[in-house]
Structure 1
């Protein structure tokens, strides 16, 4: 037996449909379907896709989450037949914000679809953020100043790729890169260009097929109160202004001397 077998049995029983009727909807024989449900045979991708569409649930949830432990009515439905886990709210009806701390960051790639993992995360509430599903992610490194390593970026879940705006910053959860916080651009077909605000780090591309989740930057939670250093653009502007001031001073001195 497997979690997938338990899930499809539980979903079928909940909807009060027979194995024969379900097999007919999947366009396979009852005997073939029974093997998936009793765990003696693994369903190929085309069958997984058909089952997912039939129950209006994503394949990753079918394979990795015990659907008997969650209320399917509370799942957030997205485009392309995808669902994400229930949104928890506080007593006032505000969305809880799960915070993925540095300590548990490594497990997020495997646990993002696991209700028990999500429920184990620390939670906060920030009512001023407005509607949408929000989650906090840790910043690591110096690629995105002024956000320092150790601070937390609060992001809003992006339901559709069309919502991504060129030049804005997002947290991406990807199969190969893991968790990254970058400035995005959609000027590549079938991929996104990721850019760091620190020019020391080069841009790179991530295929759309490698992206698991996208969270739009909403606010930052940090502890540092040190003065923000000037950016390269600001430094250049200051340098130009300083040169102009020196040129004016030289002109004024020259005029005074000539008198």
Structure 2
């Protein structure tokens, strides 16, 4: 039986623990061998979501909560502190047992992505890793030729155009969380998304990226603001701070 987490755990310790445990639950569901690929995504989402939401409502009962897999609740708008979770970011990649899927547990305070954790259960040859806002790693230096992560199935035309303008190599990858964490891990240098997302797709990744000293904003350079009535957040830029200016300038030129 596991050790009971004490009530003295910090918000980020809680986020990291929940993300890691949810990731293990998802792997267990997938490895059960009793679900078809279509059913697996639904079962995984439901299992991880139930765990995360029950845990947060017990451990942080006074906070708001927004999850991709739950019906939205207007009550969250009354809270300064709101947990924003994505139980399975990259359902297709999860079902295919790829490495590029994630679990997001983030906390927005007054709309700011303040802290969080992103679990990559399939990373490190299946051993899994958790990147968190209270334990920043050293981000490896960028190579001579920049690398931009894009969707492995539907690369956004704006991202492709910016990559061409900067002479960057395209790196196809799955989930939003995996792409954002790839910048921290030195597997990529720029994550530009313009194809439509929601708050749960980027809150935890943005919080972790900011804690690592990276740039995180909307595609026009404006701040990321969470816990909005409309949870649609169509674009995102995460990169090293020195690359933000050139990316935004190239994107403005292309969009103009």
Which is bigger in relative contact order (C-alpha 8 A, separation at least 6)?
A: 2
Structure whose alpha-carbon radius of gyration is higher: 1
What TM-score, normalized to structure 1? Answer: 0.24
What TM-score, normalized to structure 2? Answer: 0.24
